[in-house]
Structure formats: C-alpha cells, structure tokens
Chains A and B, each alone.
Chain A
Amino acid sequence: MLDIRSLSKKFGSGAGAFHALKSIDITIEEGEFFTLLGPSGCGKTTLLRMIAGFEQPSGGQLVLDGKDIATIPPNHRPVNTVFQSYALFPHMTVAQNVAFGLEARGTNPAEVAPRVDEILEIVQMAHLRDRKSSQMSGGQQQRVALARALAPRPRILLLDEPLSALDLKLRKQMQFELKRLQGELGLTFIFVTHDQDEALTMSDRIAVMEGGTLQQVASPRSLYDHPANRFVAEFIGEANFLPGTIVDGKLFLAGSPPVPLLREKKSRGAVAVMIRPEQVVVGATSEKAITLDGRVESLVFSGTDTHVSLRLQNGTTLSLRSPNTSHAGTALADGQALQVSLPIDALHVLPEETADAA
C-alpha cells in the first residue's frame, strides 16, 4: 500500500518558484490499477517521478508499507518505471536490457537467465531476445521496456504515458494486454495518461488532476456519474451545464416550473446543473423529469446515433443523442421545434463557484 500524504513540489525558489504539486493526498491499494489523469502540465509526471525517486518532495510524505521512502534514492526503491521514451539501452540486446535490473541488483547469475526467459515469454518477445534494442518497432520496444521494468519484481510499476507513441490499433491492443497482465501478476500499477478513454477502460481507480491539485479520486463509473466539480465533469466525457437555483430543496431552472430534488433538501442558491447528453430524453418520459422546449440547431450523424445540438428557449444550448433506430418518422430536421425531458435522477448539482472558475 502506498500512502501519499500532503505531498507537494516546488520548482525553483523565491519569486520564480513554481508549485507543480500542491498538497496531494492519495492512498493506492495493493494490486490496484491506479491512473493519474489530467491535461498536459498538471503535474502527473512530477508525481510519478517523485514516487520513483527522481524528484525530492518539497513537503509531505511518501509511505510504502509503513515506511517513509521520500528520501530513499531511486536505485534502492522497490519501484520500477516504464518510461515514455522507453529509454532502452541501445547498445544491449533485448535479453541484456531485461537482465539489467537483476544484474545491477546482484541477483545470483544462475537465476537471471531463467527469469529473463520467463518475463520475455510473458510479453511475447522471446523470439527477439538477441535483437539489438535499437532495431525494433515502437510496439516491440514498448514490450521490452515493460519486461525490463517487470523483471526485478518491483512492488509497484510506474508507467508514464507508455502507449502515447503507438498508433491507435496497437494502442488498443496494448491497453488490453497491459490490463490483463496487471490482473495476472496482481501487481500495483500507477499509470499516467492524458487520454480519458484510456483511463476509463483500464483503471480500477482514477485520480483526476489539474494545475497541481487533486480534483477527485474515484472509480471510472463514479467519476462519470458523480463528478465532484465542473472540471471533472467536462474532462471525463461530455457534459451539459444549465444555470439554476435551489431553494428549499426545489430546483428552479429557467423555462420550467420548479421541481423537488431527491438528494438536495437545503437551499443552495445559484448552482450549475449537469446532465450527460445521452441521458437527455427526446419527447416525454414516464420518469420524474423536467421538460424543456427548444429548436434543433445542428445535427451530426455518427453511426449508432445522431449528435443533436438544441437551442433552448432561455438561450443555452443542450447536447443530446438521438438513437438511429431507423423509424422513418423519428428523423429530426434542422430548425425543428423539439421537446426534451431531463430525468431528475440524471441531474447533478454542482456548486456554481466552480462553474464561474471554469
């Protein structure tokens, strides 16, 4: 178990100092596929490098199995990294690369070769074991980098955007294989990406970061269904925001009569109400819902459904999906008047101040 406690990192000092990480608290469980997700420059690599030992924290603790490892140098931490650039040793063969960590650690030479064979088998690179690492495709280098980091049996494997250099097809395949491998080995993975799809499909839990701060830590499902704020809602998937007010547990939205909310009992004043496009229902629904009128502004066909952009009477735009179930009569037209329902259960109330900030 890795406990990250109020960890912060400042680059430089004095007036030019830059706060790359501001008091991060995360607990990563044994055997978890944990993902750090966030836009470029939010501090994902910095956090990962601190766990690896390449950066010293400016404050806070890094507790692995009850021991603060913050001051232990990288070559004494039971943590290995798959680098974004792979960083394979170009003068060594695949097998020599994979053996490096074992040899550097002083593993009994009789045990090195079997371990190298075993791990090359796992990543399906055994047939290229004597190839120079500079003479391989990106996908192959990726596998070797993975094998090299796994060979010394680390407690935690760190992966910094390991798939970003691969083409889409290979990337999907490697996502699948990484996930399978992680499950089979039961090893803790800390995975960095700025690709939300990748994060959603692979992770047990995701930490969403922005500007050096932690926004939310949750499972993919609950990040999507219950984003903590507007940034998370927008970063993971698509979202509609409608301005509203809550008074005595009732939601007031422009253009509709007030409706009582199930989860909100108090008055909260101005809020932003979030709803995912696919949860907006065209026409009426039997659920408890808010109905709104608007006019179709644009239609974009995308195979299984059509992306509809609706201009509401109060001026805001609402995105929704209209399934292409091939009933000739349900086809929508540009400029057409349309009534939609927002099921109460699908509405998420976010504090207005984050909406202002965004």
Chain B
Amino acid sequence: MPHDAPASENALIREETRRRWSLALPALTVITLLSIVPLAVMVAYSFMQAGQYAGVEPGFSLDGWQAVFFERDFFDDSLIPATAHLTILGRSIALALATTALTFVFGIPTAWFIATRPPSSRGFWMFLITVPFWTNLLVRTIAIQEVIRADGTLNRVLLATGIIDEPLQMMFTNGAVLVGMAYVYLPLMVLPVYAAIEKFDFRLSEAAYDLYASRLYCLRRVVLPLMWPGIVAGSILVFIPALGAYVTPRLMGGGRAMMWGNLIDLQFGQGRNWPLGAALSITLTLVVLGALIWYARRTAKKDHANG
C-alpha cells in the first residue's frame, strides 16, 4: 500500500478488509467449531488419565501416549515396543493405498465417460454416482455383503449359469474388504477427476494429434499432466478417510484383520482407555499430515526445477 494514499482510500481499504472478514466469519466459525475444537479435545484427552469405567479423569498423564509406542511385557512388566501397533498401521496404510488404486482404476474411466457425455445428460450420470452418498454407510456395506455372500446374488447367478459348481467363499477375505472400500469411496475419486476432465480443452489433444502424437503419447504428455491436480485431489480424498475406516473392514473382513480405525474404536469401547484412543487418533492425524506435507514439498520442488 503506498504511503501517500489519501486518508479516504485508507479508510476504504480498512472498510473492505472488515467487510471481507465479516463475510468469512460464518465459515471460520463452522471450521473452528467442527474441526479445531474436537481436535483440541482429542489432544487434551490424550494427555489425561483413563477413567475407571471409560471416560477420562482430570490430571496430566503420558500413559496414553506411552501405550501407543510401548506395551508392558507379560512376564516381567518391562516396556517393550508395541510392534502390533506398527503392524496394524502398516495394514491400514496398505489397505488405504490399495483402495486408492482400485478407485483410481474404476474412477478414471467412469469420470471420463461422464465428462464426454452431452452436457444435458451429464447431470443424470453425476446423480447416479452420488446416489450412494444419500444412503447410510452401514446400509451400503450390507448391500455389498448381500451381493457376495455364500448364498448371495453373485454366487446364485454363477451357480445358475453353471460357471461354478459350488459357492465361492468371498465374504471375510481381503478381497471382500477391498471391494467394499472401493465401492464406498469411489464417488470421492470420480467427482474431482470429472471436474478436471470437464475443464480439459480438447483442442489441446487435437493439437497433439496434429503434431504426430499417438493416442497414448497424447495421454501421457498432455491429458494426464493437465488432469493431475484432479487425480491428486481424488486420491487424497479417498486415501485419508480410507486410512481411518473401520466399519467396512469390520463388516466385510469379519473382524479378522484389525485396522487402525478398529484399534481406536476398541479403546473407546471395550478397552475403556480413552487417552490411548485419543493418542491413537492424533497419531493417525499426524501420519496423514506428514504425508501431505511431504507431497506438497516434493511438488513445490519439482515445479521449481521446471522453472
């Protein structure tokens, strides 16, 4: 702002600044109430003592955090690293990655299909994609179960057509968990990718063909780089909630393989160890945050290298 700006202009700028803040206020309030406050509560709980029958008791304690990383040896009560937690975290990350990959494989063609329909019918297709959002997660997961159960729809069709002789055991396998997860999170991949494809200027791919590019070359050098932000957004939107998912792994996997989400669930439920549950939640948040910061740094560096 120039120093010699007239007073009235300064006042105008102040007025404008105030107006903008007041416009942003409702959003800021909602963000504060819905995300910062619960997060603060979780942080506070993680440093408190566990109540006897669930809940927390006032008083500072590091027990919760200690239990994230160490457990008491069964025999001599010494502290040993909690390798089980590491295994569970690894499993959750693997599942979230696999879910992201699967939604990517199915989401990109779906988004492409919708974005290349005539504009008048795109709304209809988008509507179909978002319909599952209107249904409770539990109901959706049970619907998938109904399809792949031993006496479910898929097995009955396969049996009736004679492709198989006895029902396939699909429930309670890793595959079942993955299918359930991909089904639940697919729309989160399709929406941002669709937005990116819809914005894509197809005259650019025409220019690429004109310049001797094959379809594949054009996809690699022109289409994908320009759709990349949408793909990244979709992947983040799928990966983060998938990392903390616990309903779908529990129902589809039969609770055989515990996920990080189930671990947290356990501490707040049967475990009655709220500080540990809170500390586990914060740990997950930190892992996600770390991954995002790493990604942001990496792309910033790459952009810089490109000039």
| Interface, chain A (partner B; CB < 8 A) | 52-54, 73-76, 79-81, 83, 85, 87-91, 93, 100-101, 104-105, 130, 132, 148-149, 152
Contact = CB atoms under 8 A, between A and B. Distances in A.
A100 B214 CA distance: 12
Interface string B273-307: 00000000000000000000000000000000011
Given A54-B206, A87-B201, A148 B211 contact: yes
A91 B225 contact: yes
Given A83-B203, A104-B221, 11 more contacts: A74-B210, A76-B212, A79-B210, A87-B201, A88-B207, A89-B207, A100-B211, A100-B221, A104-B208, A104-B213, A105-B211
Interface of B: 201, 203-204, 206-214, 217, 221-222, 225-226, 306-307
Nearest to A105: B212
B143 to A, nearest CB: 41
6 closest cross-chain pairs (CB), A and B: A101-B211, A87-B207, A104-B213, A105-B212, A104-B212, A74-B209
Contacts of B208: 89, 100, 104
Max chain A Cβ within 10 angstroms of own Cβ: one of B208, B211, B221, B225? B211
24 contacts: A54-B206, A73-B209, A74-B210, A75-B210, A80-B210, A81-B207, A81-B210, A83-B203, A83-B206, A83-B207, A85-B203, A87-B207, A89-B204, A89-B208, A90-B226, A91-B225, A93-B307, A100-B208, A100-B221, A104-B208, A104-B212, A148-B211, A152-B211, A152-B212
A192 to B, nearest CB: 15
A101 B212 contact: yes
A253 B287 CA distance: 94
Contacts of B201: 87
Contacts of B222: 89
B210 A91 contact: no
Nearest to A54: B206
Contacts of A54: 206, 209-210
A80 to B, nearest CB: 6
Contact of B213 (A52, A75, A79, A88): A75
Contacts of A90: 204, 226
Contacts of A105: 211-212
A104 B210 CA distance: 10
Contacts of A149: 210-211
Contact of B209 (A75, A130, A152): A75
A128 to B, nearest CB: 12
A177 B160 CA distance: 74
B217 A104 contact: yes
A96 to B, nearest CB: 9
B204 to A, nearest CB: 6
Nearest to B203: A87
Nearest to A106: B212
A154 to B, nearest CB: 9
A93 B225 CA distance: 13
B204 A104 contact: no
A54 B205 CA distance: 11
Nearest to B204: A87
Contacts of B225: 91
A75 B207 contact: no
A54 B221 CA distance: 20
B307 A130 contact: yes
Contacts of B211: 75, 80, 100-101, 104-105, 148-149, 152
A192 B217 CA distance: 29
Nearest to B217: A104
B226 A91 contact: yes
Contacts of A152: 211-212
Contacts of B217: 104
B307 A75 contact: no
Nearest to A49: B206
Max chain A Cβ within 10 angstroms of own Cβ: one of B201, B212, B214, B222? B212
A149 B207 CA distance: 9
